[in-house]
Amino acid sequence: MMQNDVVVVGGGISGLTLAYYCVQAGMKTTLLEKSDTIGGSFSSPQYSANGKKFWLELGAHTCYSSYQNLLDIVDSCGITETIIPREKVPFTLLVNDQIKSIVSQLNIVELLLNGLNIFKLKKDGQSVKSYYSKIVGEKNYNNVVSHFFNAVPSQKTDDFPADMMFKSREKRKDMLKNYTFKGGMQSVARVIAAKSGLNLFTSQDINSVKYENGLYEIRSANGGEYSAKKLVIATPSAVASKLLWDIHPDIANHLGQLKAAEVDSIGVIVRKENVKLQPVAAIISPNDLFFSIVSRDTVPDDNYRGFAFHFKPGLDDKAKRARITEVLGVSFSKIEHTISKINTVPSLRMGHHQWHEKSNAMLKGKKNLFLTGNYFGGMAIEDCVSRSKSEFERMKG
């Protein structure tokens, strides 16, 4: 059985960054990922045809100057020069199958009557719906704004804690306000994994964790066996709960209280000349089959355009294909390539802060168990890296 100081289960940005901190501190670290690629919701599959290459985001697509912990890692991996700006193309609404600007759909009088509340109201203790409907007005919230919020985690967000949706953080002054990376977000995941020199094993679906004689024993469905003094679980909360059931039932039960949504995404790559749609950053369509369509027009390409449709759960392929061709205005035969991906996103609810505090209290006495992921302080990339950093600091003691 392969011995380690630390084993990290889950190779999304949370697991990768915690593994990175461990390797930097000289710990023998192994990262185990279920999928055959690293990155989790950092997913930028590459397509190449006739010597032309194109990538498309099926998950995270934008970083901000306020992502300081991520940027520190990016800097120390020497990949700051791969940061590129995002083209300024609009976020739009689809109304009766017509692309509309957001402003055109807002009731300006209602907005003016409510807008000043932004200086008076606090987000603390408020849900997304209760806070934002007072800022933009109830009709604007219901008809327009709520659909943009729902598009962020691809689920209804009325009951999300308002202060977890968009956070204000200190910005790094020397950085673009928003940006991506040459090669897309997943290229960052790959570079972090490679630069840190950690032992990395993909296609490792971890299904058993035991604790004996001061060591964790971790096994995968295909026979992989690893052991470590310290265990990090960086999977979605339901998986973490299952893995800890036999050895830490109190924590497993606590993790089991959380809900999550599965985002069913289909990426579509089309030759540029075949799509007439105006360049957009994203399309949000109230009450449609999808929560959003995120476009690659933010990083224009000479040959292709790409669109990631983030569908609502439970739809069959026929319905999804039909909607893709309707919205893009192309026949399916003109679509050069499609790619599918399922991502898991937490369903944060009011009371999550208390849940989070209780998690930290429960983990305080556990010197060898560490949990990270997008279900603690928030789901933004920087929240994940911050969580990994604070768990690493707890590990150092």
Ligand X SMILES: Cc1cc2nc3c(=O)[nH]c(=O)nc-3n(C[C@H](O)[C@H](O)[C@H](O)COP(=O)(O)OP(=O)(O)OC[C@H]3O[C@@H](n4cnc5c(N)ncnc54)[C@H](O)[C@@H]3O)c2cc1C
| Distance of alpha carbon 218 from alpha carbon 31, whole angstroms | 11
Identified binder of ligand X from the candidate list 373, 385, 391, 392, rule CB under 6 A: 373
Q: How far is the CB of 76 from ligand X (least distance, A)?
A: 19
Q: How far is the CB of 110 from ligand X (least distance, A)?
A: 29
Range list of H helices, 296-379: 317-328, 352-364
Token duo for residue 364: 């305080």
Segment 280-319, which members bind ligand X (CB under 6 A)? Answer: 310
Name the CA dihedral angle for 151, 153, 159, 162, rounded to a multiple of 10 degrees: -90
Q: How far is the CB of 109 from ligand X (least distance, A)?
A: 32
Q: How far is the CB of 329 from ligand X (least distance, A)?
A: 23
| Distance of alpha carbon 97 from alpha carbon 323, whole angstroms | 11
Q: How many residues interact with ligand X (rule CB under 6 A)?
A: 36
For strands 282-284 and 91-95, give the pairing.
parallel
Q: Is 234 in the site for ligand X (CB under 6 A)?
A: yes
User: Where are any strands of DSSP class E within 205-319?
Assistant: 206-212, 215-220, 225-233, 259-271, 282-284, 290-295, 304-311
Identified binder of ligand X from the candidate list 18, 60, 73, 106, rule CB under 6 A: 60
Q: How far is the CB of 384 from ligand X (least distance, A)?
A: 5
Segment 118-157, which members bind ligand X (CB under 6 A)? Answer: none
Q: Is 237 in the site for ligand X (CB under 6 A)?
A: no
Identified binder of ligand X from the candidate list 6, 228, 263, 277, rule CB under 6 A: 263
| Distance of alpha carbon 329 from alpha carbon 339, whole angstroms | 19
Identity of the residue, 70 or 395, whose beta carbon is nearer to ligand X in the bound complex: 70
Q: Is 45 in the site for ligand X (CB under 6 A)?
A: no
| Distance of alpha carbon 373 from alpha carbon 49, whole angstroms | 36
Q: Which residues bind ligand X (CB under 6 A)?
A: 9-15, 32-35, 40-42, 59-62, 204-206, 234-236, 239, 263, 310, 343-345, 373-374, 379-381, 384
